[in-house]
Chain A
Amino acid sequence: MRRRNPSVRRRLVAVVLAAVGCALLPGHLRAQEDLPGVELGLFYANTYRPALAVQPFTGSFGGAGIAPQVEAIVGRDMRYSDRFEVLDSLPGALVGERVDYALWDRLGAVWLVTGRVEGAGDGFVLLVELHDVVYGEVREQGRFRLPNPSDPDFRMAVHRTSDAIVEWATGDPGMAASRITFTMMDADGNKDIYVIDSDGENLQRVTHYNHMTESPTWSPDGQRIAFASWKTGVPRIYEVDRFGRNERMVPAVRGEGDYITPTYHPDGQTLAFAVLGSESQSGIFTYNLAQGCCLAFLSGGPWYDLSPTYSEDGRWLAFNTLRFGDAVPQVMMMPAEGGAAETLSPYAYGSGGFYAAPDWSPHGELVAFHGRIDRRGRYHILVANLEDGGRVLRQLTSEGNNEAPSWAPDGRHLVFSGERSWGFGLMVADVTTGRIRPLLSGRRVDLPDWSPAVEAR
């Protein structure tokens, strides 16, 4: 695939070494103190979050037994959506089965969710109503099939109901029915792939390699996970289903080169990833999964590009690059079929700056990444808005170290790995309000990737 011309190689080495040398000139500030031309800060729109109450769910035909469980899942999903001021629930005895709009109005609720679970065949049907308390009327209602609570899809079915409620109330999609894949380190320093639901429940181990395993990423249908594994001694990209079965190497290649940081095109047919280890072609490649062929080199040079991420429409790729020097990785974007790349992170020659791990929002022109932005060299989550030319960065975190953000299917939440004084964990941030909640704490977890919305089976 790659045969190189030694004299070209040597010239490139000289250029690279010269570039590195320049970066090391005295006066070059490693710990960056200001970013020319960049506004950076923790600023949030003053968002109105209407008060929402969940009336205790009722049940019939065997549904009464699981109604409290269903209500608890929905109630927490409402909180985690960060779109409402969720009122503390009231005991059923106090509110009864009838909807007392005057009572809820006095308590300050704008929205009220009621639910009834009915046994139906093998499973249940959940009848949900969203009430507009101010107008004293039902705004939306729906019937949702729920399997038995022992079914592995039970919680996800309830989450889909939650997402419907969010969409009724706000017109925007939710993210409760989704999963997050990530790496977790064991006591021997090895990493494997795991999956957890968006509400922090249902932790599942996907791979059992007991080796270096990195960069898991969801297929657009949420059924497969691609990642890089070093299990043969050199990193290669593999794809498994979400239970870790049916493994295959994509592309199946021998020989030299580190195959790392895969991502799926939104159409699910193409995989983009980095191949490093060649001074003529170190950068982003694509591979046609559907045809099982056709490696294409997009970077166009020995640019050491990695961590690609597709735009929502699949026409653009953002990626990380070391082309400006080892110590100043930047985020760039280029057409999905390759071509001229432009810098998205605020790089100005000689100004330094460390930006890495981009992820393109599934809605709108936002790209999240992390950057080293304060003088103590801490890493924080940043969001660039391409409509502003990417030059205004919003900083989402302000404590600890924060890395590797990934967008939720609602385009509003980000999951990332955080390091705090108490240890490591996965965190979820709401980009709109800046609220942050822990998803999984106390474990050495990294490189989370948030799935698309999980459809019903």
Chain B
Amino acid sequence: MIVRRFFVMVFAATLLVGACGGDPPPPPAPPQPDQDSLQRYNDSVAAAEAARRAEAERLAAERAAEAERQRLMREARATLEEMVFFDYDESEIRDDAATALRAKVDILRASPEVRIRIEGHADDRGSTEYNMALGNRRAEAIRAFLVGFGLAENRFEIVSFGEGRPLQQGDSEAAWARNRRGQFVITAGGDAINPAR
């Protein structure tokens, strides 16, 4: 029993000697942050995060808007370039063609820099030279329709290809109907097409 107490004392002395051997005192415990500064820190992180997210959202929205603008431009261009078709040996604007041309009018009003070449085509029945005139009459009828809505005449030029540039080969009513057409080529302002307002 006495022996055990001795060992305990030696062990304790050893501990004390070790403690007083010239070593620096243990560092003080770090200061506990106060609640205010913690809040400020968290707030600034959140703010940066929010700003970053907002910027990303803004960019995404911008990209989406640009994509939408591009889509509308592509759509508007497709509308401008959409062909119209005619009845056999006629240059009168059909109802379906009038609808397609009205859609072009709205885009052309919103896109003042755009100029268009109107190409008149015919099917290969009848007479080769007559079909050149018929193609010209068709292109002219389209131009007159567009100009009738107040668009400047000098925004359009017309040319006939007669029966020389068929869309579809063959001697069938389906092929002929496809070939009796007006085509639209954007000759200026192709990068300034605006959708209809």
A contact residues vs B (CB 8 Å cutoff): 4, 6, 9-10, 13, 16-17, 20-21, 24, 30, 189, 191, 212, 214-215, 230, 233-235, 256, 258, 260-261, 274, 276-277, 279, 282, 304, 306-307, 320, 322, 326-327, 329, 354, 356-357, 370, 372, 377, 379, 403-404, 446-447
Which of B51-59, B73-81, B106-114, B122-130 participates in binding chain A? B122-130
A357 touches B160 (CB 8 A): no
CB-CB < 8 A to B162: which residues of A?
A: 212, 214
Does the CB pair B129–A447 fall under 8 Å?
yes
**Chain A residue at minimal CB-CB distance from B153:** A6
- A-side binding surface: helix, strand, loop or mixed? mixed
State whether the Cβ of B104 lies closer than 8 Å to any Cβ in chain A. no
Pairwise interchain contact B129-A307, C-beta atoms closer than 8 A: yes
Residues 115-138 of B, flagged 1 when their CB comes within 8 A of A and 0 if not, give 000000000011111101110110
Q: Given the complex of chains A and B, what is the CA–CA distance between A403 and B131 in angstroms?
A: 13
Cβ-defined contact, A214 with B164, below 8 A = yes
A212 to chain B, nearest CB (A): 4
Measured CB to CB, the closest approach of chain A to B9, in angstroms, equals: 115
**Taking the complex as formed, is B91 at the interface, i.e. its CB lies under 8 A from any CB of chain A?**
yes
Smallest distance from the beta carbon of B114 to chain A beta carbons, Å? Answer: 18
In the bound complex, do residue B130 and residue A357 qualify as a contact, i.e. CB atoms below 8 Å apart? yes
Contacts of A356 in B (CB 8 A): 126-127, 129-130
A304 adjacent to B133 (CB under 8 Å): yes
The minimal Cβ–Cβ distance linking B161 to chain A, given in whole angstroms, is: 7
10 A–B pairs (Cβ distance < 8 Å), ordered by A: A9-B147, A215-B129, A276-B136, A277-B140, A279-B144, A326-B89, A327-B88, A370-B127, A372-B126, A404-B128
Closest A-B pairs by Cβ, 9 of them: A356-B127, A327-B89, A276-B136, A212-B164, A13-B144, A356-B130, A20-B92, A307-B129, A326-B91
Could you say which residues of chain A place their CB within 8 Å of the CB of B130? 306-307, 320, 322, 329, 356-357
A4–B158 Cα distance when bound, in Å, is 15
B189 at interface, CB cutoff 8 A? no
Nearest A residue to B169 via CB reads A189
Q: Check B166 for interface membership: any CB of A closer than 8 A.
A: yes
Say yes or no: A24 contacts B148, CB within 8 Å. Answer: no
- A258: chain B residues at CB < 8 Å are 132, 136, 159-160
Report how far A326 CA is from B165 CA in the complex, Å.
20
Given A215-B128, A326-B134; 10 other pairs, CB 8 A cutoff: A189-B164, A214-B162, A256-B158, A258-B132, A276-B160, A326-B90, A356-B127, A357-B130, A404-B128, A446-B128
